[in-house]
C-alpha cells in the first residue's frame, strides 16, 4: 500500500482511497490555505501578500457594486462575458472538475513545477469518462509558501507510487 495518502491543493486536499482520488476543495478551503500559508508564515513579505489578496478582493467587490449602482452595465457585462468565455474555452478543451476520479480511469498525469512569481505548480490528470477523455487541473500551493516545493514532490510521488508514469514539464 502506498504511504502517501493525501496532499494539499490550492483549494483544499486530495485524498487517495483504494479505488479513487477524491478532491476536497472549496472557497473556504482556499481562504484557509491562504491564511495558513501566507498570514501564519514567519516571513513578513508573505503577510504583505495576504493583505494584498484581501484588498484586491475588497476592491473587486467595491468595483462590482459601484458598476451595478451606476447602471453602467456595459463594462460589467464585458468582464462577466470574458470570464464566461474563458470558462467555456476550458470546457471545450476538455477540462472538468469532478470531486472523484477512479484510479482505473486515469490515463496520464502531467506535472508542471511552475516558476516562482509566474506560475504555480500543478498537475493535469487525463482520465476517461464513458467514451471520452477529460482533464482535471489540480493547482498546488505556491512555490513562495514554506512547503510549496515539498507539496509538489509529495503529489508527484503519490501518483508514481500508485503506478502512474508522470510526464514532467518545467
CA–CA separation, 9 and 33 (whole Å): 9
Residue 90 or 139, more confident = 139
What are the boundaries of each domain within the chain? Answer: 6-169
pLDDT at 3: 62
Q: Which cell numbers in the block locate residue 41? A: 508564515
Q: Which three cell numbers stand for residue 68?
A: 451595478
Quote the pLDDT of residue 117: 79
Q: Average pLDDT of 81-106? A: 88
Asked if 53 and 34 count as a contact pair (C-beta separation under 8 A), the reply is: yes
Is residue 163 scored above 50 in pLDDT? Answer: yes
Sole residue written with cell 482533464:
135
Tell me the sheet residues that pair with 22.
15, 100
Arithmetic mean of pLDDT over the chain = 89
Mapped onto helix, strand or coil, the DSSP state of residue 142 is: coil
More confident residue, 67 or 95: 67
Amino acid at each position: 500500500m502506498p504511504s502517501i495518502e493525501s496532499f494539499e491543493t490550492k483549494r483544499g486536499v486530495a485524498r487517495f482511497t483504494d479505488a479513487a482520488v477524491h478532491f476536497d476543495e472549496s472557497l473556504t478551503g482556499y481562504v484557509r490555505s491562504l491564511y495558513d500559508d501566507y498570514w501564519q508564515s514567519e516571513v513578513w513579505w508573505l503577510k504583505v501578500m495576504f493583505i494584498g489578496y484581501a484588498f484586491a478582493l475588497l476592491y473587486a467587490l467595491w468595483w462590482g457594486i459601484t458598476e451595478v449602482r451606476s447602471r453602467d452595465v456595459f463594462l460589467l457585462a464585458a468582464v462577466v462575458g470574458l470570464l464566461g468565455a474563458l470558462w467555456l474555452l476550458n470546457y471545450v478543451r476538455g477540462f472538468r472538475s469532478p470531486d472523484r476520479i477512479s484510479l482505473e480511469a486515469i490515463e496520464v498525469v502531467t506535472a508542471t513545477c511552475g516558476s516562482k512569481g509566474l506560475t504555480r505548480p500543478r498537475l493535469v490528470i487525463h482520465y476517461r469518462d464513458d467514451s471520452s477523455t477529460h482533464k482535471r487541473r489540480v493547482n498546488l500551493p505556491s512555490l513562495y509558501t514554506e512547503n510549496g516545493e515539498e507539496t509538489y514532490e509529495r503529489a508527484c510521488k503519490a501518483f508514481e507510487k500508485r503506478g502512474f508514469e508522470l510526464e514532467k514539464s518545467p
